[in-house]
Amino acid sequence: MTDIPLVPAMAAAGPDEPSRIGALLGAVLPPAACLLGLVLLWAVGSATGLIPFYFLPAPQAVALEFVNNTEVLVRHGTATLTEALSGFVIGNATAVVAAAVLSSVPALRDMFYPYALVSRAIPIIVFAPVVVVLLGRGYPPIIAIVSFTVYFPTFLNMMRGLAAVDADLDELLHTFSASRRQRLFLVSFPTAVPYFFAALKISASSCFISALVTEWIGANVGLGYLVVVSSQYFKLASLWAAIFTSAGLTLSLLGLVHVAEHLCGRFTATAAEMDA
């Protein structure tokens, strides 16, 4: 028996191409124009001496730095990228596993969750010198600090996300006699996906910030180190090139997280609700 002549779902697919390109242009053009305007203002300000060179060198000087000192920027950028990304992956992975374990074993949650909450109040960066003493100079202490910074927002968000399961879905799985593991994978993780991405967006920038700051304290390579050294030697173009490079890296990771969320969103609740 068939009834209700509704168009089978998939026929009503996405919008046609031209309008999508138009929308993209509409989203990209205004901020691009704004950026161009700012750079022009900056150039004019520098040329007329309104912006002192010891505060911010002219745009062409910074651009020249990228061309002439590419090798230096790449070397320090690679170091920072390695530290930030390693910390990003380790911190987030640990947080997801810890939250999954704690939220499915009530006894463990009751034991550890209060401490997990309290430890958020500790400014991890003040431990950097101690960690450097413990782990020596180089990548390990920095990755450890970055992982720690990344860990907390994701852990807390995942705890909330895993607990946000719809009561009706919980009952459904209950009547199916689903195991704890089945509930976790069939319902809890998909429910927590939006919370997870919210945390990833926070950690995408915080992983670079904590990598840079830790480099000030205990490293001889990395963009944070380059910033310190450049300012000591009054190499302002190099300083600003380092700042722009780290901003670019942060934005790239943030962009990747957004793309991943969009791709993932097709398989989770958010996509269905946003399209509806």
Residues making contact with another protein (CB under 8 A): 1-4, 6, 8-10, 166, 168-169, 171-178, 182, 186-187, 190, 267-269, 271-273, 276
Smaller CB separation from another protein, 133 or 172? 172
CA distance 235 to 238: 5
CA distance 199 to 49: 43
Rounded to a whole number of angstroms, the minimum distance from the CB of residue 262 to another protein is: 15
Q: Give the SS3 label for residue 83.
A: helix
Rounded to a whole number of angstroms, the minimum distance from the CB of residue 3 to another protein is: 6
Smaller CB separation from another protein, 120 or 181? 181
Smaller CB separation from another protein, 110 or 166? 166
Q: Name 200's Cβ contacts closer than 8 Å, sequence gap at least 6.
A: 92, 154, 257, 260, 261
Rounded to a whole number of angstroms, the minimum distance from the CB of residue 7 to another protein is: 10
Rounded to a whole number of angstroms, the minimum distance from the CB of residue 215 to another protein is: 41
Rounded to a whole number of angstroms, the minimum distance from the CB of residue 192 to another protein is: 12
Rounded to a whole number of angstroms, the minimum distance from the CB of residue 185 to another protein is: 11
CA distance 203 to 219: 22
CA dihedral over 228, 233, 239, 242, signed as positive or negative:
negative
Smaller CB separation from another protein, 9 or 118? 9
Rounded to a whole number of angstroms, the minimum distance from the CB of residue 193 to another protein is: 8
State the CB neighbour count (10 A cutoff) for residue 172. 13
Smaller CB separation from another protein, 186 or 198? 186
Q: Name 187's Cβ contacts closer than 8 Å, sequence gap at least 6.
A: 165, 169, 170, 173
Smaller CB separation from another protein, 71 or 168? 168
What are the helix (H) ranges across the chain? 17-48, 59-68, 70-104, 106-119, 128-135, 139-163, 167-175, 180-183, 189-218, 223-232, 236-265, 269-275
State the CB neighbour count (10 A cutoff) for residue 92. 23
Q: Name 99's Cβ contacts closer than 8 Å, sequence gap at least 6.
A: 154, 155, 158, 159, 162
Smaller CB separation from another protein, 107 or 276? 276
CA distance 54 to 263: 45
Rounded to a whole number of angstroms, the minimum distance from the CB of residue 51 to another protein is: 51
Angle between helices 139-163 and 128-135 (to 10 degrees): 120
Smaller CB separation from another protein, 135 or 178? 178
